[in-house]
Amino acid sequence: MAAGTALGNTPREGPRRAFRPVRTVGGFPEGRGHLEGKERGILSRCIAYMNQQTAVTQATAAKKTLPDAQTVTEVRHYTDDLFYFRTTRPQSLRFRSGEFVMIGLPGDDGKPIMRAYSIASPAWDDGLDFYSIKVQDGPLTSRLQHIKPGDEIILRPKPVGTLVLDALLPGKRLWFLATGTGIAPFASLMRDPETYEQYDEVIMMHTCREVAELEFGRELVESLPQDPLIGEFVGDKLKYYPTTTREDFRNMGRVTDNLASGKVFRDLGLPCEKMDPSADRAMVCGSLDFNKDVMAILEGWGLREGANSEPAEYVVEKAFVG
Ligand code: A2P
């Protein structure tokens, strides 16, 4: 459910900028006005950069004809079954990195076809990134996969979700566990300075059937340490552990197997072979079966599921399919 059964590459457009222009509120990126010291310095540079870009964003925003319409500003196809797109962001939309919104297109009968999509960009960004599978007979993605820059989509500006830092108790090491398009909320959280403020170490485990399906995540993760804006936050805190299950790759195996066997701990040189509920925190996003199997492992190690209302050691969300 989470991942496309991707086969083969499609041509992609040029390299992606990890950081985007930022909307400011009171001189600081929206939702980040509380940052201080070094963070403010870095974010001031973000603001200068983004201000240069504002004209471009405004010029791109076409006249809105749909209710809750947003304009597509970029599309990249990763495989025959996976694509990324970026849209303008409604002025009114405030969200926490890791949350999702409903997006869609008008159906043939004029009624909107809406699906839940994790926002793949961080809360401070002035555009919205999404990462989607293409279901050839899917009511929404059979059409959404054909969107182009300048087109409009419907976006309901009511973000929700449990994959938020607030739903976890303080800890030392944060695990992002995803299959397929389940990496989308983590593409947001990996670009949020708060992730690195709250944790000493962040581990991104992502498993797909084939190598080409890892590309979106690889491109993003590998750009971060050198990124002029977020790089200082990321430093050497972010460890990336991509694996495949159905195509040869340097590292293989399901997230569940690599956790349960201790392989990921050994491969990353961690001083333990399982998670410690006093230090490890996890966020899980994949298919229902994946989520269930990962939860069983985490619970076996003594981690408890948290929620916004009652933070604990891990949180889980289904990766949504269109
Ligand atoms: P596998 O190839 O062994 O089935 P899918 O496209 O079916 O959602 O799968 C995406 C990735 O998630 C695949 O690498 C798949 O591995 C893996 N996967 C599917 N189900 C589970 C599960 N219950 N636990 C762990 N990994 C899973």
Nearest CA to ligand 1 atom 21: 290
Residue 238's φ and ψ, nearest 5 degrees, are -95, 120
Q: Would you state the pLDDT for residue 31?
A: 36
Q: Are 284 and 95 in contact (CB under 8 A)?
A: no
- Return the ligand 1 atom nearest residue 256 CA: 25
Q: Would you state the pLDDT for residue 152?
A: 96
Pairing of strands 82-88, 127-133: antiparallel
Q: Are 117 and 85 in contact (CB under 8 A)?
A: no
User: Coil, strand, or helix at residue 78?
Assistant: strand
- Give the Cα separation of 200 and 173 in Å (integer): 6
Tell me how far CA of residue 107 lies from CA of 101, 113, 141, 142, in angstroms. 19, 6, 12, 11
Report which of residues 243 and 42 the model is more confident about. Answer: 243
Report CA(59)–ligand 1 centroid distance (Å): 42
Query: Is residue 290 in contact with ligand 1, taking CB distance under 6 Å?
Result: yes
173-179, strands of its sheet edge to edge: 238-244, 201-208, 173-179, 280-286, 314-318
Q: Would you state the pLDDT for residue 319?
A: 84
Pairing of strands 100-106, 201-208: unpaired
- Give the Cα separation of 200 and 321 in Å (integer): 32
pTM above 0.75, yes or no: yes
Q: Are 282 and 308 in contact (CB under 8 A)?
A: no
pLDDT at 22 over 50: no
Report CA(137)–ligand 1 centroid distance (Å): 21
Residue 102's φ and ψ, nearest 5 degrees, are -90, 130
Residue 109's identity, in one-letter code, is D
Report CA(293)–ligand 1 centroid distance (Å): 11
Tell me how far CA of residue 89 lies from CA of 60, 95, 128, in angstroms. 12, 11, 6
pLDDT at 273 over 70: yes
Query: Is residue 179 in contact with ligand 1, taking CB distance under 6 Å?
Result: yes
99-118 pLDDT per residue, tens: 999 999 999 898 999 999 99
168-198 pLDDT per residue, tens: 999 999 999 999 999 999 999 999 999 999 9
Assign 65 a pLDDT band (cuts: 50, 70, 90): low
Assign 64 a pLDDT band (cuts: 50, 70, 90): low
